[in-house]
């Protein structure tokens, strides 16, 4: 009975309802969801404070004081939730933007759409643009933009936006930070590291392409997984460029630890694809999985940093530069561990996806293999090819692959400055997350003629098929663009040029490859996940 009396106490009900209104007004513009532990801690702390107040100043037993404190906290939370939902639905500064009703209320709507679309959020946003236009509200404080006029304002060098809270949800690195000052300082170090070693990276990339070919020679005429082959290649290359220590996947001499680590990365990116809509869950996941599924990866990266510190490296590597430029304390050490993981995560998956797609696109189009072969053969000097070298059709094929299927398919979320952002006649209020991605722009009729068609000539002999070149930014743009772009292009050029020169690429006999179905199954987990596909390599007579 006491319990029922407490539960229906008018005083508690009114106090809770009022507290909900007040708290909502205070936190309305803040990203409290970025601090899940502080938020949960504050709720728990408020229960204990209220218990103390009721016990000390009210004439209640401990258990009654506890009941009243709990009831008041619950009423406050319910009132807060109602306030938040009503405000988001009808009074929010983004209320004039069209979009599905559920998206106004919570980002869990986007999580649900991701689940329903089998991790193809990029297809969901594409449909939303068709239904609602260029500016669609995809979250309580999020707008997805399809308007090409916004590209430079969101990603260009003069953009006033910064990285969105998603980036701050993960541990600090050059990529995962929303602090522009920290990013600028750290990015300078990465840029110098890349620039100083570029000439040394070329021969390393070529060496691994030779190893890849040695492996192909062992399985000529047999089905080979394009996904596994390119993943092994990109892991081996990036672990050597990054740490001076190849994972040796291509040669099949890898360790169990490396296998476990890279299995953990694959599971990790799937979780990121789902949870990037709710960054606070990413923070929680990262905290609790340090010793869990991703723990193996974290420990491996930390060991690599230790090993690299001890042994030095006669070959130039990225970590060597970062070591020289990080403080020798706990903060510097943590940053190095985070960036060691970054090197592998950012450096392997996107390059592997693009390489796999290039092999599949070429297997589908033997006519491009023969055109490319002519171009590449003429570019060989003394029987060698320098992967830094641009070739028109080769780069056209790579560009067309990245335009149609960008391997970082994430919409590069940004946050508008407090004064907001104006694009033509559209005003987006301050502190809004804006999403503008390479997939949607690459497929836009305002940027490309026949945008869904694979036409490499638009980059060579048919420039009239490109209406707005700015619509092509698979490596992003501006200050936050890809630091590894040149290395990535070296890998793509080296593998594709040399493979097409020496091999015919085809699908296994009787496989009836259905391109429309295959490409529609590409999934979106920050980088793109390419469905499993076998290809066959046949050696050409030189
Ligand atoms: C085909 C291959 C690749 C593609 C398509 C690609 C694409 C991108 C894109 C779109 C971004 C911006 C992401 C964002 O704004 O959240 C990015 C950032 C980044 N990429 Fe790449 N990338 C590739 C390969 C590489 C390689 C080989 C490395 C080498 C380590 C690398 C390192 C990075 C880093 C460190 C960043 C963060 C840069 C910053 O925030 O300042 N990427 N990449």
pLDDT tens across 470-526, in order? 999 999 999 999 999 999 999 999 999 999 999 999 999 999 999 999 999 999 988
Domain boundary among 61, 91, 121: 91
Mean pLDDT value of segment 438-444: 97
Residue 457 lies in a domain: yes
Q: How many CA atoms lie within 13 A of 242 on its CB side?
A: 24
Mean pLDDT of the residues in the chain: 91
Q: Is there a domain that residue 125 lies in?
A: no
Distance (angstroms) between ligand 1 centre and the Cα of 353 equals: 13
pLDDT in tens, 89-131: 999 999 999 999 999 999 999 999 999 999 999 999 999 999 9
Same domain as 368, residue 504: yes
> Torsions phi, psi of 8, nearest 5?
-100, 20
Q: Are residues 291 and 435 in the same domain?
A: yes
Residues 188 and 192: their CA atoms lie apart, in Å, by: 6
Residue 147 lies in a domain: no
Query: What's the pLDDT score for residue 152?
Result: 97
- Domain limits at 186? 162-526
Amino acid 452: pLDDT: 97
Q: Whose CA is nearest to atom 9 of ligand 1?
A: 475
The answer to whether position 295 is within a domain reads yes
pLDDT tops 70 at residue 4: no
My answer on whether 202 and 343 are in the same domain is yes
| Domain-located, residue 124 | no
Residues in the chain: 542
CATH of the domain at 361: 1.10.630.10
> Are residues 55 and 169 both part of a single domain?
no
Same-domain check for residues 327 and 195: yes
For residues 75 and 182, membership in a common domain is answered with no
DSSP 378-421: HH-BTTB--TT---HHHHHHHHHHHHHS-SB-S---EE--TT-E
* φ and ψ of 59, to 5 deg: -100, 65
- Does residue 289 surpass a pLDDT of 70? no
- Whether residues 83 and 198 fall in one domain: no
Number of domains in the chain: 2
For residue 324, being part of any structural domain is answered with: yes
Whether residue 185 sits in one domain with residue 318? yes
Q: Are residues 76 and 178 in the same domain?
A: no
Pocket test for ligand 1, best of 484, 489, 526 (most atoms within 8 A of CB): 484
User: How much of the chain exceeds pLDDT 90, in percent?
Assistant: 67
Do both 261 and 393 map to the same domain? yes
In a domain, 312, yes or no: yes
pLDDT in tens, 305-354: 888 888 876 666 888 889 888 888 999 999 999 999 889 888 999 999 99
Q: How confident is the model at residue 413 (pLDDT cuts 50, 70, 90)?
A: very high
Residue 293: predicted pLDDT: 53
Spatial distance between the Cα atoms of 504 and 501, rounded to a whole number of angstroms: 8
pTM of the model as a whole: 0.91
Angle CA(52)–CA(54)–CA(56) in degrees, nearest 5?
Answer: 65
In a domain, 469, yes or no: yes
Across residues 365-380, what is the average pLDDT?
92
Query: 348 alpha carbon to ligand 1 midpoint, in Å?
Result: 10
Name the token pair of 190: 């990465």
Instruction: Name all residues whose Cβ lies below 6 A of ligand 1.
Output: 174-175, 187, 342-343, 346-347, 350-351, 354, 407-408, 410, 412, 474-476, 480, 482-484, 487-488
Residues 66 and 72: their CA atoms lie apart, in Å, by 10
Bind-site residues: 482
pLDDT, mean of residues 143-159: 97
Whether 83 and 169 map to the same domain: the answer is no
Residues 278 and 387 occupy one common structural domain = yes
**Closest residue by CA, ligand 1 atom 42:** 484
pLDDT at residue 87 greater than cutoff 80: yes
Query: What are the b/e assignments for 444-455, b being 16+ CB within 10 Å?
Result: beebbeebeebb
Secondary structure in 3-state letters for 173-196? CCCCCCCHHHHHHHHHHHHHHHHH
Alpha carbon of 187 to ligand 1 centroid (Å): 12
Residue 135 has pLDDT above 90, yes or no: yes
Domain boundary among 66, 91, 116: 91
**In the prediction, which pLDDT does 3 show?**
61
């Amino acid at each position: 009975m006491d319990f029922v009396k407490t539960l229906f106490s008018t005083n508690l009900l009114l106090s809770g309802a009022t507290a909900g209104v007040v708290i909502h007004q205070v936190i309305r513009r803040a990203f409290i969801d970025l601090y899940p532990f502080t938020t949960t801690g504050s709720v728990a702390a408020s229960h204990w404070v209220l218990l103390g107040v009721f016990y000390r100043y009210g004439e209640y037993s401990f258990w009654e004081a506890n009941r009243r404190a709990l009831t008041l906290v619950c009423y406050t939370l319910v009132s807060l939730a109602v306030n938040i939902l009503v405000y988001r639905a009808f009074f929010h500064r983004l209320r004039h933007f069209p979009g599905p009703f559920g998206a106004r209320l919570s980002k869990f709507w986007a999580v649900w759409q991701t689940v329903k679309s089998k991790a193809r959020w990029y297809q969901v946003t594409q449909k939303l643009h068709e239904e609602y236009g260029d500016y669609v509200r995809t979250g309580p404080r999020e707008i997805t933009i399809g308007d090409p006029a916004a590209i430079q304002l969101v990603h260009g060098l003069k953009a006033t936006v910064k990285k969105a809270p998603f980036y701050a949800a993960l541990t600090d690195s050059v990529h995962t930070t929303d602090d522009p000052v920290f990013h600028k300082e750290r990015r300078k170090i990465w840029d110098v590291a890349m620039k100083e070693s570029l000439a040394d990276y070329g021969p390393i990339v070529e060496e691994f392409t030779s190893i890849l070919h040695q492996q192909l020679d062992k399985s000529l005429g047999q089905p080979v997984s394009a996904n596994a082959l390119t993943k092994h290649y990109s892991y081996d290359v990036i672990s050597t460029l990054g740490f001076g220590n190849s994972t040796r996947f291509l040669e099949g001499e890898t360790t169990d630890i490396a296998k476990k680590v890279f299995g953990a990365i694959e599971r990790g990116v799937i979780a990121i694809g789902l949870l990037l809509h709710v960054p606070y869950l990413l923070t929680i996941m990262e905290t609790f999985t340090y010793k869990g599924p991703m723990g193996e990866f974290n420990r491996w990266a930390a060991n690599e940093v230790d090993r690299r510190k001890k042994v030095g490296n006669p070959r130039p590597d990225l970590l060597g530069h970062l070591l020289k430029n990080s403080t020798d304390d706990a903060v510097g050490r943590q940053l190095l561990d985070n960036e060691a993981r970054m090197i592998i995560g950012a450096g392997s998956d996107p390059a592997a996806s693009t390489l796999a797609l290039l092999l599949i696109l070429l297997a589908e189009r033997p006519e491009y293999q023969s055109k490319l072969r002519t171009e590449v053969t003429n570019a060989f000097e003394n029987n060698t090819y320098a992967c830094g070298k641009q070739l028109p059709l080769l780069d056209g094929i790579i560009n067309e692959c990245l335009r149609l299927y960008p391997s970082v398919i994430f919409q590069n979320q940004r946050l508008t400055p407090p004064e907001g952002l104006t694009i033509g006649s559209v005003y987006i209020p301050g502190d809004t997350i804006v999403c503008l991605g390479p997939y949607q722009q690459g497929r836009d009729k305002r940027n490309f003629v026949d945008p869904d068609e694979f036409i490499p000539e638009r980059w060579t002999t048919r420039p009239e098929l490109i209406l707005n070149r700015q619509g092509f930014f698979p490596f992003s743009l501006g200050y936050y663009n890809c630091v590894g772009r040149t290395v990535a292009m070296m890998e793509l050029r080296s593998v594709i040029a040399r493979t097409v020169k020496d091999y015919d690429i085809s699908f296994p006999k009787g496989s009836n490859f259905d391109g429309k179905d295959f490409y529609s199954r590409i999934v979106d987990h920050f980088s793109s996940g390419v469905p499993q596909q076998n290809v066959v390599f046949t050696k050409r007579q030189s």
